[in-house]
């Protein structure tokens, strides 16, 4: 079967399985159909209407700013929902980058987060987003823009390694106490017992 036909049929099946309340499905393929596995692993990408990426045709990961008093893990979920309409659960911080003399001549921290989708029907934000879609991760990584910029190339390699379980990120461990109204998160390799 053609990869694109398989991907379309798979998406239809996933929608039907989800409506029936199924939480997981095993796909069993004989070796000669191994090439069909690739479309099953996709990432959510967007094209922006403004900024440096406007009109470039570059597909990028959804991005945004953390609001005052907002945790990184909550901000990632909110920004993806705002830009694409996709509901997600936070999984982990995969990497972070520090840059200096950025916004308002201050230092800036950018966190790359992995989220797990709990919905798949895209409803893009019309004001900021030109287009949004699910894309095979290798196709994202092979964009000339990504390959020609070290930080983007590193991020795409980390995403692919994480997909193949060759990389572990930082999960968010809540440090809140029952007696305290404030909560915070420790981002760590250690999973909660």
CA of 49: how far to CAs of 63, 126, 139, 143, 181, in Å? 13, 9, 21, 19, 39
Distance spanning both ends of the chain, measured CA to CA: 44
Asked if residues 86 and 44 have their Cβ atoms less than 8 Å apart, the reply is yes
- Structure-derived torsion over alpha carbons of residues 186, 83, 57, 15, reported in degrees to the nearest 10: 100
Q: Report phi then psi at 61, rounded to 5.
A: -70, 145
Backbone angles phi, psi at 31, to 5 degrees: -55, -35
CA distances from 79 to 7, 118, 193 (A): 27, 15, 29
- Catalytic positions, please? 82
């Amino acid at each position: 079967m053609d990869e694109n036909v398989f991907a379309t049929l798979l998406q239809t099946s996933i929608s039907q399985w989800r409506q029936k309340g199924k939480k997981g499905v095993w796909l069993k393929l004989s070796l000669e159909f191994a090439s069909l596995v690739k479309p099953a692993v996709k990432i959510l990408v967007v094209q922006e209407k403004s900024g440096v990426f406007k009109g470039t045709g570059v597909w990028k990961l959804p991005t945004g700013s953390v609001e005052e008093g907002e945790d990184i893990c909550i901000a990632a979920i909110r920004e993806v929902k705002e830009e694409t309409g996709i509901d997600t659960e936070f999984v982990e911080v995969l990497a972070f980058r520090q840059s200096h003399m950025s916004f308002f001549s201050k230092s800036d921290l950018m966190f790359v987060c992995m989220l797990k989708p709990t919905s798949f029907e895209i409803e893009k934000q019309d004001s900021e987003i030109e287009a949004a879609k699910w894309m095979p991760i290798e196709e994202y990584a092979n964009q000339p823009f990504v390959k020609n910029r070290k930080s983007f190339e590193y991020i795409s390699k980390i995403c692919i390694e994480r997909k193949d379980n060759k990389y572990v990120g930082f999960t968010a461990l809540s440090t809140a106490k029952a007696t305290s109204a404030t909560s915070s998160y420790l981002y760590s390799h250690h999973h909660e017992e």
